[in-house]
Chains A and B, each alone.
Chain A
Amino acid sequence: MKKLILLLSLLLLCGGLPAVAGDVPLMSKDELKAQLNSEALVILDVRSGRDWSSSEFKIKGAIRTPGSEIAEWSKNYTKDQALVLYCA
């Protein structure tokens, strides 16, 4: 039975690993702060559901956009604009 408990623990912890891992280029908080007044900067809050509603941190002026519909909304922006996607 101890093996079963150990297996279950590993399974559950491994389930969380994809959420821990990540290989996406990130912009630091300070980098973003430095560019906040730039007109070319667009902050897109792509969080949805409880990812958005449970979070206390919502950047002022950020536009809520569904991350899955990137092909749709990306047409609204020019190549001169810097798009910052805020996902967590």
Chain B
Amino acid sequence: MKYSFLLSFALGAGWLLSPEALVIAGNSAGKLGWLTFPALAVAALLFGLSGNLLNQSQLSAKDGNEYLLLQNTTGTIPAIALTLASCIPLVILAATALLVTSGYTFNEVFLYWFPNFGFSFLLLTLLTLLQFFSEKIIFRAQIFFITLAAGGLLFLALFGIAGVDKPVTEVLRQPGSFSSASSAILLLLFAGTTLSGTTKRPFLMPITGFVIFSLWIFVSLSYVTPERLASSTIPYMTAARKVMGEPGRQIMGIIVISGTCASITGLMLLCRRMLSNIVITKNGAGLLSVKKQRWLFPPLVAIVTGLLMARGLAGDELLEVLLRGALILWLMHHTLLCLSALLMIRKNSQSMPLAGAISTAILIAALFTLLLNNPHRNEMLLFILSMLGIGGLLATIWFLIKQKPVTQTTT
């Protein structure tokens, strides 16, 4: 399946514009102060370099199939397990968390009388139904969501910059203390950006993310105290209200809801694409092609997400731990892809790309930092191991059923 660059970009940018990413950016800005800008630049550079590394390995660039790269290094079952564990929990948990946030936003910003959970379920239903349409329609909808969210955020940021009444240097000197954990979290902003076939232009998505977040962080630090940003659970709304008052809240409400739609649609399609890559068989007929998955994967995700919301996971602190765990699993998958690319390049007797090797080493260090510095690390580790275990079990069953998954190698 071929993805045009613009569409791949729209898919990968979904998570970048999610309310969760805005919380990560706002809280990090509060903790790191001016240091957020270099930390964000490093995070963007790391993803640019790792995307470039995946591009150099050649195999991943072919139809954007990262799975083949992983399989070539780890073998079939571990590669299937890692792919399943990195994408399915993320799409389900992100959908659960983001839909709840959107429900509250709609209720509190737009219609008080409309129940927040009613809106969350309505949005889940509509986004699931969207997945039944042709990819052309899904992509058009995704571009609409992205334009609305990115346009709204840029408008608020530029409006805010125009109204800043203190010198730029003062804003850029906001005190902050370096924390490896707060810096490493910024890597999670770029989830999905390398999995959408955008590796042909590996720096474009990270640079776009860097520009958008830098502008928004600059405005947030100009209007809200770092302490408030660091402790707020909705720093984006606090900043929007300070920038533009009630209209600012309403614009941020639109950004949150469209960002949620973009994020869920993007993650859902990326996940479908990753799953379709797994099941390519020698004759090219996959059990779960992207088209066939339309009737299986989105309804399954919707039912599990709906059940999690109805069972009250949104009101449980555990959701945050699980979501962070799912994001770490995704980062783990990305890091292993980079390692696989390095090994493949070395195997093919090419010179070792130094920048790619350094960025992979930093990604590994960041992964450990995120794992070890989390106050709920035991629960998170248990979740990560469980997901990998379930992934392994499903991979084994899948392997036995299909018997001959991909045996393609690269040169």
- A and B interact: yes
Chain A residues within 8 Å of B, Cβ to Cβ: 1, 4-5, 8-9, 11-13, 15-16, 18-20, 47-57, 88
CB contacts (< 8 Å) of A18 on chain B: these are 310
Given A12-B302, A15-B306, A15-B309, A54-B233 contact (CB < 8 Å): yes
A-binding segment of B53-61, B100-108, B175-183: B100-108
Asked if residues B121 and A15 are in contact (CB atoms below 8 Å), the reply is yes
Complex Cα distance, B118 from A61, in Å, reads 29
* Chain A residues in 8 Å Cβ range of B287: none
Contact B233 A49 (CB under 8 A): no
Chain A residues lying within 8 Å of B165, measured Cβ to Cβ, are none
Is B314 in contact with A50, judged by CB distance below 8 angstroms?
yes
The 7 closest A-B pairs by CB, nearest first: A16-B121, A19-B117, A53-B233, A54-B104, A15-B306, A54-B101, A12-B125
The reply to whether B121 and A19 form a contact with Cβ atoms under 8 Å apart is yes
Given contacts A16-B115, A49-B313, A54-B101, 10 further A-B contacts (CB under 8 A): A1-B295, A8-B125, A8-B299, A12-B121, A12-B125, A13-B122, A18-B310, A49-B314, A50-B314, A56-B108
Partner of A13, one of B101, B109, B125, B233: B125
* Residue ID in chain B nearest A10 by CB atoms: B125
When chains A and B are docked, how far (Å) is the Cα of A65 from the Cα of B105?
23
| B27-62, CB < 8 A from A | none
Given A13-B122, A18-B310; A48-B316 close (CB under 8 Å): yes
Q: Do residues A49 and B317 form an inter-chain contact, with CB atoms below 8 A?
A: yes
Task: Judge whether B124 is part of the interface by a CB distance below 8 angstroms.
Answer: yes
Pick 10 A–B contacts, CB within 8 A, sort by A.
A1-B295, A8-B125, A8-B129, A16-B122, A16-B306, A19-B115, A19-B121, A50-B319, A54-B100, A88-B116
- Interface status of B132 (Cβ within 8 A of chain A): yes
| A5, A8, A52 pick with most chain B CB within 10 angstroms | A8
CB-CB nearest in chain A for B120? A16
Contacting residues, chain A, for B249 (C-beta < 8 A): 56
- Give the CA-CA distance A9 to B75 in the complex, in Å: 40
CB-defined contacts of B120 to chain A, threshold 8 Å: 16
Interface status of B234 (Cβ within 8 A of chain A): yes
Interface assignment of B335: CB less than 8 Å from any CB of chain A: no
Q: Verify if B207 is at the interface (C-beta below 8 Å from A).
A: no
Question: Which of A15, A20, A48, A55 is packed against the most chain B CB atoms within 10 Å?
Answer: A15
CB under 8 Å from chain A, chain B span 15-34:
none
B315 adjacent to A51 (CB under 8 Å): yes
